[in-house]
Structure 1
Amino acid sequence: MKALIVDDERLARNELKRLLENFPKINIVGEAANAEEAVELIDQLHPDLLFLDIQMPGKTGFDLLTDLEGYVPEVIFTTAYDEYAIKAFEFNALDYLLKPIELHRLSEAVQKVEEEFDRQKQLTETVKDNTTVLSENDQVFVKDGEKCWFVRLGNVRLFESMGNYVRLYFDDQKPLVLKSLNALEDRLDPKIFFRANRKHIINLKYIQKIEPWFSGGLQVTLRESGDKIEISRRQAIRFKELLSL
């Protein structure tokens, strides 16, 4: 699997590369000294995995992940500070390695990566067996705990990523389903459902108001609920092209 190392310290990058020589399945395709360089390399190389430092000059590792749109690699944080661990796992990190990195901890992290990629491969094969794009008129069965719904997709105004789950918003309901937002995006009709940012897919027919937002982005207000969703700067370009604004 392709890996990208993001760390502002050259010696730390070299030491991690040395340790990773013990794991032939990890192919280091590049390295970056800051978040800006990393974003460009992620767009170019589409790595499967980031070894990501948190404290860097300029933007932090968390800022980097927030800036990513659409494609987001798996992440193992590498840092000298333990106080960011809880926040790291809010970003769905596979592991959190404290510097100086010990070989046995790196081995545990790599094993988690391999297990996650095996799981994703199985999911991908399942999706390939059922690749029909779902339209707004299709109905889907949703189960959350003891509650069940048979929902017309056109009635879902918003999909929100919650770790390994997605929350669906329709009527006054908001159940969770065990599915990634990326996998769900692959199944939804792109003429109706739009990936607004890393965490949200919106139903275009529910947009009530569009406003300019920070850094060239947009903010949309959804009718009925009044939810305000930010469309990131990168996605705002696609959004304007899609709606010919």
Structure 2
Amino acid sequence: MAIEKRLSCIIIDDEPLAQDLLKKYTNRLSFLELTTIFDNAVEALSQMETLRPDIILLDVNMPEMSGIEFLKTFSNFQPAVILTTAYSEYALEGFEHNVADFILKPIVFERFVKAINKAREKIGAGAAVLAEPQRMLLIKENKRFIRVALDDVLFVEGMKDYLKIHTKTKVIITHMTMTKMETMLDKATFLRVNRSYIVQKAAIKAITGNVIETINNAELPIGVNYRESIRKMTEKGIL
């Protein structure tokens, strides 16, 4: 598919994990050029006239100036804004400010692409790009097999010969070992943190000491044999 032009894009978000995920997603789309990442809206506002980005990925709930307050500042140009937040109650107010789309965190790539397509339509920048096919697991639950989207899996909990697969909407129990499950998961996306837990990296909200807190507020202990490797990853900012 021919790309008419590269679109400049900026990220405004005070959460490092969200920044990293959005950066990874923008880098997967060749027509997007990530110009810079801002930790707060005040700093971004001071550079808007200089940067004049085509697309802004804007968090809503930030200190000093919220994303909604930031939206009220535009006058000389109108970028395509995609709001990103964990709070759905901001959606209506966002659309009142003519945003291109509104994405709820945690953000999966397929939903991100849909939002970018809407932004491209808004600024008239060419045809839509197709999302990659969603990766799926085929899991046996009781006597039936069900398909589970990998992006929906938050973490996997081992219980002897059984596993609890914690997804965004439910918990699935299946007869399988952790070793088998680990071979089915992409190591670039999922992380083994002890003998009993595998977590999706995008589902990690915080790491305090030797405990991982997930976006659904579960607390997963980091095993002794995994602490050094996880420490190195956090120091390098690659989690």
Shorter-chain TM-score bucket reads 0.3 to 0.5
| TM-score with structure 2 setting the length | 0.48
- The structure with the greater share of residues assigned to helix is 1
